Amino acid sequence: MSVKKAGLNCICSDPVDFVSGQINQSQSLFTYNYAQNESVDTFAKPDFEPMFADNITWYNNSLRLAAEAQCGDDYECLFDVASTNDLSVGMVTKDISIQLVNESNALGK
């Protein structure tokens, strides 16, 4: 599914089996502490479901309110804050977005 948000086409959630994205031991690029019985399965999260652009979820309400106050209607900023639980990441995203728009406008003149 694709939706139009903030002028961008966003790939959004569809029912997908995310467990199929898990790798096995032979596919892993990491090394494991076999003395402590670590393996790729030690770090697997079969119940993990990523956040999609059409369903932003917040760690807490105060983070959401702070993000909305700082990001305004910048959807990418809001998504990055929610994804990282870090307002500063969203602010960098917003600054880059503003810079790209300004540069694009300058090139169009």
Contact 93, 80 (CB under 8 A): yes
Residues sharing a CB contact under 8 Å with residue 27, sequence separation 6 or more, in sequence order: 40
| pLDDT given at position 21 | 67
- Res. 6: pLDDT tops 50: no
Residues sharing a CB contact under 8 Å with residue 57, sequence separation 6 or more, in sequence order: 51, 82
| pLDDT given at position 95 | 95
Tens of pLDDT, residue by residue over 33-87, are 989 999 998 988 888 778 887 889 999 999 999 999 999 999 999 999 999 999 9
Q: Is 95 helix (H, G, I), strand (E, B) or coil?
A: helix
| pLDDT given at position 46 | 80
| pLDDT given at position 90 | 96
Mean pLDDT of 28-32: 89
